């Protein structure tokens, strides 16, 4: 691998595979929400805090397999991601400031 390939690789890994704060939400998100689209999709279009529940319900309609417990876990997990600055969308920042995650 060439040195100039490293940033590209890092960007790919971060977008699709992490970083995610540890906790129950992490495994739910990785196991249930990356079947039809990648994690990047969730990060870039996370919807506002108010719209998140609707987004999750829409995913259930699409066919996502979420138990009631997992649904509740994910409902809270969005806030955790946002607090850590792991959501990309302008919408995500509407409901509060977040320090953007950046690769040094």
Q: Length of the chain, please? A: 104
* Contact (Cβ atoms closer than 8 angstroms) between residue 90 and residue 45: no
- Of the candidate residues 40, 48, 55, 83, the single one contacting ligand HEC (CB under 6 A): 55
Cα dist. 28→13, 54, 70 in Å?
Answer: 19, 17, 7
Indicate the residue among 6 and 65 with the shorter CB distance to ligand HEC: 65
Per CB under 6 A, the segment of 3-11, 14-22, 31-39, 95-103 that binds ligand HEC is 31-39
Please tell me whether residue 36 binds ligand HEC under the rule CB under 6 A.
yes
Please tell me whether residue 90 binds ligand HEC under the rule CB under 6 A.
no
- For helices 68-83 and 52-62, the axis angle rounded to 10 degrees is 140
Residue 26 contacts by C-beta under 8 Å, 6 or more apart in sequence? Answer: 20, 77
Per CB under 6 A, the segment of 6-14, 39-47, 80-88, 92-100 that binds ligand HEC is 39-47
Interacting residues toward ligand HEC by CB under 6 A: 32-33, 35-37, 41-42, 45-47, 55-56, 59, 62-64, 66, 74
């Amino acid at each position: 691998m060439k040195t100039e390939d490293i940033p590209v690789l890092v960007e790919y890994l971060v977008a699709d595979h992490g970083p995610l704060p540890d906790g129950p939400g992490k495994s739910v998100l990785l196991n249930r929400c990356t079947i039809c689209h990648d994690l990047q999709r969730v990060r870039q279009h996370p919807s506002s805090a108010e719209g998140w529940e609707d987004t999750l319900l829409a995913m259930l309609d699409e066919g996502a397999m979420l138990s009631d417990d997992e649904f509740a876990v994910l409902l809270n997990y969005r806030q955790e991601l946002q607090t850590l600055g792991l959501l990309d969308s302008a919408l995500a920042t509407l409901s509060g400031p977040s320090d953007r995650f950046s690769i040094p």
